[in-house]
């Protein structure tokens, strides 16, 4: 009988790299599972490339349901085992019968990688079948920007107030308690101007909500804080309603002001578009970069992932900082 030989398909070098990287990652996870090592939530996030929204959801589940807390990742189960030194630890176990092995044929591992250049299914070898997933839809993140938000006299009074209260500013913190995640200084009590800002935001919020096509909601508390970013300060990617205490935040606002002439650079606000992965909204690669222009205010949905890029302020004088009054509109 004449044997026909099928011409092997070829794939790009980038795809080979993706597959090799995936195989190495799976091998690393299996090694930890076989060794019985415990790993922390932070290490688990890096190992499995878990997004921030999933980690926040996982932390909530740990707090509300510590007994039998587990989740699955590919062919593995991750199970909560202990709390030590303020950290949560997990055990990784291989699922039973997760691979169907047939004595008469070579078993296949079915996995998924990003879209290939030729958008077709490609057989890499006899043991790995790669299926192409459809391209993920990107959801644009809207924002509204208003120039000359305060009058000239209000802006000048605000600047004088801010610089004269330098001693009252304290270092910012974050829900992750990571000192390298956010660096800046803030003032939470400044009734002379927080009342002004909250009243203005409350007045304009219905129009902003409609403009951003946010589902209408009853406006409740409006929060406000004064923030100073000086040399080397930043805020890494995050959203504003990802923890239980701030889940009711719907709309975020940031008002920019600083002393003229401007004595710093950087400090841009980056707002990322969104995409859905594993049922969660995560940051896409596309983004908008907003310059911190004096006397402007920006509004955007609080669920949007965003960050503040590092500030360069050579003088390091407090008065030369990038100042903001920022806050959140909560639903009632």
Lowest mean pLDDT among 137-141, 208-212, 258-262: 137-141
| Cα–Cα distance, 209 to 216 (Å, whole number) | 7
Domain count, the chain: 2
**pLDDT at position 13, please?**
65
**pLDDT at position 12, please?**
58
Instruction: Please indicate, yes or no, whether residues 204 and 60 belong to a single structural domain of this protein.
Output: no
* 58-73: pLDDT as tens digits: 887 777 766 668 888 8
Domain membership flag for residue 274: yes
Instruction: Please indicate, yes or no, whether residues 161 and 94 belong to a single structural domain of this protein.
Output: no
Domain membership flag for residue 189: yes
In this predicted structure, the answer to whether residue 126 has a pLDDT above a threshold of 90 is no
Instruction: Please indicate, yes or no, whether residues 305 and 209 belong to a single structural domain of this protein.
Output: yes
Domain membership flag for residue 2: no
pTM exceeds cut of 0.85:
no
pLDDT level of residue 135 (50, 70, 90 thresholds): low
In this predicted structure, the answer to whether residue 101 has a pLDDT above a threshold of 50 is no
Element of type H or E holding 55: helix 52-64
Instruction: Indicate the Cα dihedral angle 36, 41, 42, 45, nearest 10°.
Output: 90
Element of type H or E holding 311: strand 311-312
Instruction: Please indicate, yes or no, whether residues 84 and 190 belong to a single structural domain of this protein.
Output: no
Instruction: Please indicate, yes or no, whether residues 160 and 70 belong to a single structural domain of this protein.
Output: no
Q: Which domain holds residue 228?
A: 144-331
Instruction: Please indicate, yes or no, whether residues 66 and 157 belong to a single structural domain of this protein.
Output: no
Instruction: Please indicate, yes or no, whether residues 128 and 158 belong to a single structural domain of this protein.
Output: no
Average pLDDT over residues 194-221: 97
Task: For residue 152, give every residue at least 6 positions away whose Cβ sits within 8 Å of its Cβ, in sequence order, or none.
Answer: none
146 vs 28, higher pLDDT: 146
Domain boundary among 132, 152, 176: 132
Task: For residue 43, give every residue at least 6 positions away whose Cβ sits within 8 Å of its Cβ, in sequence order, or none.
Answer: none
Interstrand relation of 265-266 and 311-312 (parallel, antiparallel or unpaired): antiparallel
Q: Could you tell me which of 321, 111, 316 has the C-alpha nearest to residue 226? A: 321
Residue 316 CA: distances (Å) to CA of 216, 246, 324: 43, 32, 17
Tokens of 309: 């890029």
Instruction: Please indicate, yes or no, whether residues 186 and 326 belong to a single structural domain of this protein.
Output: yes
Instruction: Please indicate, yes or no, whether residues 167 and 283 belong to a single structural domain of this protein.
Output: yes
Domain boundary among 132, 163, 192: 132
**pLDDT at position 84, please?**
64
Mean pLDDT across the chain, nearest whole number? 82
Which residues sit opposite 38 in a β-bridge?
91
| E-strand stretches of 32-149 | 38-40, 70-73, 76-84, 87-94, 109-113, 122-123, 128-132, 144-146
Q: Could you tell me which of 71, 67, 48, 46 has the C-alpha nearest to residue 58? A: 71
In this structure, the chain runs to a length of 332
Instruction: Please indicate, yes or no, whether residues 258 and 120 belong to a single structural domain of this protein.
Output: no
Domain membership flag for residue 297: yes
- CATH number where 220 lies: 2.60.120.620
Asked if residues 169 and 228 have their Cβ atoms less than 8 Å apart, the reply is: yes
In this predicted structure, the answer to whether residue 167 has a pLDDT above a threshold of 50 is yes
Instruction: Please indicate, yes or no, whether residues 127 and 59 belong to a single structural domain of this protein.
Output: yes
In this predicted structure, the answer to whether residue 1 has a pLDDT above a threshold of 50 is no
Domain membership flag for residue 257: yes
Q: Which of helix, strand or coil describes residue 162?
A: helix
188 vs 42, higher pLDDT: 188
Instruction: Please indicate, yes or no, whether residues 175 and 232 belong to a single structural domain of this protein.
Output: yes
* 260-290: pLDDT as tens digits: 999 999 999 999 999 988 877 789 999 999 9
pLDDT level of residue 117 (50, 70, 90 thresholds): very low
Task: Using the structure block, give the residue that is written with the tokens 């980690």.
Answer: 55
Domain membership flag for residue 220: yes
Domain boundary among 97, 132, 167: 132
* 19-30: pLDDT as tens digits: 777 778 888 888
pLDDT level of residue 172 (50, 70, 90 thresholds): very high
Dihedral of CA 209/297/329/277: which sign? positive
């Amino acid at each position: 009988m004449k044997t026909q030989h099928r011409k092997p398909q070829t794939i790009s070098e980038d795809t080979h790299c993706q597959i090799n990287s995936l195989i190495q990652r799976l091998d690393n996870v299996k090694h930890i599972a076989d060794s019985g090592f415990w790993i922390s939530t932070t290490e688990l996030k890096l190992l499995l490339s878990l997004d921030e929204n999933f980690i926040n959801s996982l932390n909530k589940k740990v707090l509300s349901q510590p007994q039998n807390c587990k989740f699955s990742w590919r062919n593995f189960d991750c199970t909560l085992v202990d709390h030590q030194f303020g950290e949560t630890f997990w055990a990784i176990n291989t699922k039973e019968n997760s691979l169907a092995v047939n004595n008469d044929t070579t078993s296949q591992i079915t996995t998924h990688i990003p879209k290939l250049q030729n958008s077709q299914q490609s057989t890499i070898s006899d043991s790995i079948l790669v299926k192409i997933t459809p391209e993920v839809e990107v959801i644009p993140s809207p924002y509204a920007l208003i120039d000359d938000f305060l009058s000239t006299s209000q802006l000048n009074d605000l600047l004088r107030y801010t610089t004269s209260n330098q001693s009252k500013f304290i270092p910012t913190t974050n829900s992750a308690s990571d000192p390298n995640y956010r660096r800046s200084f803030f003032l939470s009590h400044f009734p002379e101007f927080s009342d002004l800002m909250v009243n203005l935001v409350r007045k304009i919020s219905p129009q902003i909500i409609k403009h951003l096509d946010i589902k209408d909601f009853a406006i409740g508390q409006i929060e406000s804080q004064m923030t100073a970013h000086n040399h080397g300060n930043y805020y890494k990617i995050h959203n504003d309603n990802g923890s239980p205490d701030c889940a009711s935040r719907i709309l975020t606002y940031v008002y920019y002001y600083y002393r003229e002439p401007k004595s710093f650079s950087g400090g841009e606000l980056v707002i990322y578009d969104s995409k859905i992965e594993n049922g969660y909204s995560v940051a896409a690669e596309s983004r908008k970069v907003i310059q911190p222009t004096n006397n402007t205010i920006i509004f955007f949905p609080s669920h949007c992932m965003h960050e503040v890029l590092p500030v360069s302020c050579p003088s390091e004088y407090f008065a030369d900082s990038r100042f903001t009054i920022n806050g959140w509109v909560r639903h009632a």
